[in-house]
């Protein structure tokens, strides 16, 4: 039996939603910090810092003694170079993501990625993971749009695909994702399997809470046995 999809367009976040990438991000960040004689940060700490783009990651990781804009810019350049050289060493799709993307494609849904990671690095990561061709658009930082939670990139994807807000869903583990969905406005599916603690996501009142990928699949593909 074919079940009608509730959404024509599904916009995914990347880090913490499709991909567990914090180990590679932390490695690159700690390499940059070591270059200026700063102590490494734990994975737990780095996971709390991601989600708002590379520049904000550097701001959060830097001590007060390294607040000068030129120092910040130099540290950011070190991080981006280190990360670009090893963007997908230990990064992996979350369990169930590949199946979900396949089921959405088979059902005729359009999927896109909007991330605050630099767009070129996002596309490199998706290619390395073998899923870049699943998405009609992959838009990140420095691709000509404001970072999330600004809805401009999402609205442009909706325009390109001819999709209404009421038929669009945003799936993400970050507060910017839920806030972007509210600004569009369209339903947000808060990804509880990612880096943001569930209570923080709940406080944003998303349309749906999905503790696991399979929960998101049941929302996006109701009645579909593949979900």
39 vs 198: CA distance, rounded Å: 29
Q: Any alpha helices (H) in the chain, and if so which ranges? A: 22-34, 43-49, 54-61, 69-85, 97-107, 119-128, 152-161, 175-183, 198-202, 213-220
Contacts of 58 (CB under 8 A, 6+ apart): 29, 32, 72, 75, 76, 79
Q: Could you tell me how far CA 49 lies from the centroid of its own chain?
A: 13
Tally of CB atoms within 10 A around 213: 22
23 vs 29: CA distance, rounded Å: 10
Residues 174 and 196 sit within 8 Å (Cβ to Cβ): yes
Catalytic residue among 13, 24, 52, 177: 13
202 vs 27: CA distance, rounded Å: 30
Beta pairing partners, 188? 170
Q: Is 68 a catalytic residue?
A: no
200 vs 179: CA distance, rounded Å: 12
17 vs 34: CA distance, rounded Å: 28
Active site residues per annotation = 13
């Amino acid at each position: 039996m074919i079940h009608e999809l509730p959404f024509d367009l599904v916009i995914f976040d990347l880090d913490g939603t499709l991909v567990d990438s914090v180990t590679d991000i932390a490695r690159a960040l700690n390499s940059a910090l070591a270059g200026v004689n700063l102590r490494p940060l734990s994975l737990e700490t780095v996971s709390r810092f991601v989600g708002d783009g590379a520049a904000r990651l550097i701001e959060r990781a830097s001590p007060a003694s390294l607040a000068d804009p030129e120092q910040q810019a130099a540290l950011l350049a070190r991080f981006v170079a280190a990360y670009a050289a090893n963007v997908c060493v230990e990064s992996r799709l979350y369990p169930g993501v590949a199946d979900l993307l396949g089921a959405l494609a088979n059902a005729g849904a359009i999927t896109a990625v909007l991330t605050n990671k630099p767009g070129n690095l996002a596309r490199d990561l998706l290619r390395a993971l073998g899923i870049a061709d699943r998405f009609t658009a992959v838009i990140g930082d420095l691709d000509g749009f404001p970072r999330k939670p600004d809805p401009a990139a999402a609205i442009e994807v909706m325009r390109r695909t001819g999709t209404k807000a009421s038929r669009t869903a945003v799936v993400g583990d970050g507060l910017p994702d839920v806030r972007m969905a509210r600004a569009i406005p369209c339903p947000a599916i808060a990804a509880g399997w990612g880096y943001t603690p569930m209570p923080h996501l709940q406080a944003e009142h998303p349309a749906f809470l999905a503790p696991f990928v399979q929960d998101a699949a049941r929302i996006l593909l109701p009645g579909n046995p593949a979900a």
